[in-house]
Amino acid sequence: MNKIAVVYFSGTGNTEMMANAIADGVGEKGTKADVFAAEDFSASMMDDYDVIAFGCPAMGDEELEDSVFLPMFEPCRAKLNGKQIALFGSYDWGDGEWLRNWEQRCRDDGAVIAADSLKCNLTPDDEGIAACKATGGSLVYIIGCSALTALDGRPKRPRVYNIISFLLSIQDSQTIRAHNKGRTR
C-alpha cells in the first residue's frame, strides 16, 4: 500500500500550515500524502493508510479541539493498535501538555509513534516549517522500511538501503527535536 495521510483540524490556519508542510516534506522525498481536513476523514479510512499524521491545535486548557477534531478522532482510536502515526499541532500558551497527553493516549491505544510529535507556537516560522517537512520526510522512510519487510520478516532489499534510510531518518528527527526543544517554555 505505502500510503500516507495527513489529517488535521485548524481554527486559525496555523495547524493547516503545518499539515501542508508535512505533506510537502513527503513530496520532497518522492511520495504523495493525502491531506484531509478532520471533517473529511473517518475511522473507516484508517485501513487505507500505512502511516497517518494527525494534527490538532491546543484549545482551552491545553485540550484537543472538541467540536470537529475529537468527534472524528475518537472512533479512529479503535484502529490505532499497531498503526504508525505522527502527531502535531500549534499552541499559544502552556508547554505542550496537550500533545504529551495525546501521545500517551495514542500509545495506550497501541499506536506506534512513527515520528517525534511536533508543536509550533502560533504561526510556524521558517524553523517550524523545516521541522514539519522533516517530519514528512521521516514518514516516507517509515513506509519505505515497512515495505522492505517480507512476510517472513526478512528485508526484501539490500541491508545498505535500510541503513541509509535509517541514517536519513535520524537526521530528520534531529531537526524536529531541535525545533521542539527551542519551543518549550
> Which has the closest alpha carbon to 115: 84, 89, 146, 82?
84
Q: Which pLDDT value is given to residue 143?
A: 80
HSE-up (13 A, CA, CB side) for residue 71: 6
In the chain, what are the domains?
4-183 (3.40.50.360)
Chunk the chain into consecutive blocks of 10 residues (it has 185) and report each block's average pLDDT, rounded to whole numbers. Answer: 93 97 95 97 97 96 94 98 96 91 97 94 96 95 61 41 52 60 53
User: How distant, in Å, are the alpha carbons of 20, 45, 85, 165 from that of 17?
Assistant: 5, 23, 19, 26
Cα separation values, 65 from 7, 54, 88, 125, 161, Å:
13, 12, 13, 23, 40
The whole model's pTM is what?
A: 0.81
